Structure formats: structure tokens, C-alpha cells
Amino acid sequence: MFGRLHAWSGRHPRIVDALWLAPFLVFCASNFVVLATDPAFLPGGPPLVVHGVLGVVLLVPLFWRRRWPVGVFAVVALASFVQWSFGVEPLPVNLSVLIAMYAVASYRPLRWAVAAGLVAELGLALSYGRITERPDPRSWASTSVFVVAVWIAGIYANTRRRYLEGLEERAERAERERDQRARLAAAAERARIARELHDVVAHNVSVMIVQADGAGYAIDGDPEQARLAVQAISATGRRALAEMRRMVGVLRADAGAEDGEVPGDYAPQPGLSQLDDLVEQVRSSGLPVGLRVSGTVRELPEGEQLTVYRIVQEALTNTLKHGGPASRAEVEMEYGVRELVVRVADDGRGAAAPGGPGGHGLVGMRERVAMFGGSVEAGPRPGGGFQVVVRLPFGEVGGSRAA
């Protein structure tokens, strides 16, 4: 509610200023009515029209006190000085000097606030000397304290508003930087996936070329061997085509064109067969790791194998960095009927460890798994520690290979 009210006040500053002035305007109007109905209220004073003109000059500029606080204060202070010069006694409408002073202290730097405060105190001294034959310093001091209190309130409002504006600016900047980091991380991860998938596709094309050469040599002497080679070419081509279709649906068209790297080795990236080596490597780093596979093992395309390998690698790396010295990790791969479930769990303190400035590993996991229609869940375990659960559905290529 307060947020909507603040937004509304920011869109309608004139209405807000008028609402703030409304009680003071009612007070001055009631005082003018008293003067109009009882001319003897100020015996020997100026005509009623002078009070009306003075009230208009002192009140109307206050509607622009937020846009031009220094100018409004100058007009109001000058009008009050002219009033004092002609011997007109102070009126309730002269409190507009304090309202203008508050606006200067609230919306302008400290040097302007100090100048406005000194002018207001000078005006108070001049008026007090005119209306009292025997000035009482204690009475003047009590009135001066009220002026200083209004001045300090304006300074406080200025400081608080600048502080809140600074907080809003930092929050907006942090949000923009967070979104930018997420976009850069996603773009970098997609470019890396494109390079890795390029290796997989190049490997499949190499296999197709070898099989085609073999079929060409065996087509006359061994037709059965040539038929098997052609079948292998067909399966490899379908697998490579499925990988390319997934990639086109995720990556931008220019992700690979802007990379500018020349591929050197066209061998496929690590797959499920290298998980044992990865686990042994992590064990040698000091982290006890267990690997368990359940269900009927199915052969996956190279792209999905690479995805599983990279996710397990990232999760174990996070355990090494944040799990603590006495932590232990467990890698579970469950082959179901429709999907492969990969769980990487540890019993360390990774859930309570403070996040670093990077933290884009989860972004990369989701980018990889989303390419195959899967999902990633990462968070603290109920019994302590941290876990990453990946659900990767079996695609058409995987299903055909398993059949």
C-alpha cells in the first residue's frame, strides 16, 4: 500500500503539494475571514485589501516550492521584508517563510539551507523588535528554537530522501548487473555447448565417411557387410541430425560464428564411459565419492552423455569447493522406463556456505538439460548437505538405440 502511494505521489507532485498546503491555507483563510468580519481586530492597521494582496503573494508561490525552492523562498522573504518596511504587523500568513525555508533545506544543498535559515532568523529578529517595546530575550529564544526545529526537519528530510534514492539506485543497478551476468553466463554456456556439439557431430560424420568407404569396397564382394555398413550410416546420420535439431532450438544463430576458434581435435567429448575416471580423479583430490548405477542400462547419444558427464563434474567440483574437509559425495544413476535420473548428493556444508560472486554453474546445468527436454533440481538435502537431481527423458535416438 505504501509503495503504491509513493508511486502515485511521484506521478502527481502538484496534487501532493496542494494537499500538504491545504491545512495552512484553511488556517490563513479563516484568519482573513476574521479580519473581514471584524475590522477592529487590528486597530489602525492597513486596509483589508492590503492583507488580501499580501496573503496571495505569500501563499501562491508555495505551490512551486518543490520545483524552485530557492526562488520561492526569495519571493516570500522579500514580501515579508516589504511588509516589515511599511510597518505592517506580522500575520499568520507569514508562516509561509518557514514553509519556504523548509523546502530549501529539504531540496537544496546545505549551503542554501544555511543561507535560508539565517535569513529566517534575521526576519524573526526584525519582526520581534518591531512588535515588542521591551524585547524579552527568553521569548525570542523560544521562538527561534521553533525556527531551528523546522530548519533541522528540512535537513533531515533532505538526507533521508537522498539516502532512499541511493538505495533505490543501488538496487536497480544490482538487478541490472544480475540480469546481465545471467545473460552473459547463458550466452557463454550456449557457445561452449555449440563447440562441444560440433565435436560430436564431426565425430559422427567421420564414422559415416568410414562406413561409406567400407560399404563401397564391400558392395560387390560382400553384400551383407555392405548392408550393415549402410545401416550404421543411417543410424549415425539420424543421431547427428537429432543433435543438430536440439541445438538449433536452443542456441542463437550467431553463437558459433562469433566464437572465432578453429577446431583442432575432432574426437568426441567425454561420455558415460568416462564417469569412472572422473570419480577416481575426484577421489584422488581427497573427496570420497561413490558411484552406483541401477536399472537397465541404455545407450544414450553422445550429446546426452556429454550433458550427464558435465553435470556430474560440476556438482562434484562444487562439493570440493564448498562441502568441507569431512564431506562425502554419492553419484547415483537410475535408468527408468522413460527417463534417466542422475543424483549427486553430499553430506557437507555446501547448503550453508556463502555464495561467491560467480555462481553460474546451475545456469549452465539448466541450459544443457533444457536442450534435451529435461529438468534440474538443486538445493539442500533434508538430512543435511546438498544435492543435484537431473531428470533426462529418453529421446527417440536413445529409444531406438536401446531397442
Confidence band for 383, pLDDT divided at 50, 70 and 90: confident
Task: Provide the mean pLDDT of the chain.
Answer: 75
Instruction: List strands edge to edge, sheet with 339-346.
Output: 289-295, 329-335, 339-346, 386-393, 375-380
Q: Which residue has the higher pLDDT, 297 or 199?
A: 297
Q: Are 346 and 366 in contact (CB under 8 A)?
A: no
pTM: 0.43
Lowest mean pLDDT among 31-45, 54-68, 120-134, 225-239: 31-45
Q: Which residue would you say has higher pLDDT here, 160 or 367?
A: 160
Please enumerate in sequence order all residues whose Cβ is within 8 A of that of 228, keeping only pairs 6 or more positions apart, or say none.
Answer: none
pLDDT of residue 95: 80
Position with higher pLDDT, 333 vs 202: 333
List the grid coordinates of 275: 564417469
Of 245 and 333, the one with more pLDDT: 333
Handedness of CA 54, 57, 58, 63 (dihedral sign): positive
CA distance 236 to 238: 5
Q: Which of 302, 231, 304, 311 is nearest to 267 (CA)?
A: 302
Helix (H, G, I), strand (E, B) or coil at 378: strand
Identify the pLDDT of residue 150.
85
Separation of alpha carbons 354 and 9, rounded Å: 39
User: Quick check: 266 pLDDT over 50?
Assistant: no
Contact 320, 284 (CB under 8 A): no
What is the rounded distance in angstroms from the CA atom of residue 92 to the CA atom of residue 299? 91
Higher pLDDT, 355 or 60: 60
Beta bridge partners of 293: 333
Region 172-176 average pLDDT: 87
Is pLDDT at 110 greater than 50 in this prediction? yes
Question: Across 46-50, 65-69, 108-112, 195-199, which has the greatest mean pLDDT?
Answer: 108-112
Across residues 311-331, what is the average pLDDT? Answer: 82
Q: What confidence score (pLDDT) does residue 265 get?
A: 42
Note whether 321 and 215 are within 8 A (CB). Answer: no
| DSSP reduced 3-state for 338 | coil
Give the sign of the dihedral formed by CA 382, CA 383, CA 385, CA 389: negative
What's the whole-number mean pLDDT along residues 75-96?
Answer: 80
- Inform me whether the pLDDT recorded for 394 exceeds 80: yes
Torsion, Cα 361 362 367 372, to 10 degrees, reads: 120
For cell 569412472, the residue is: 276
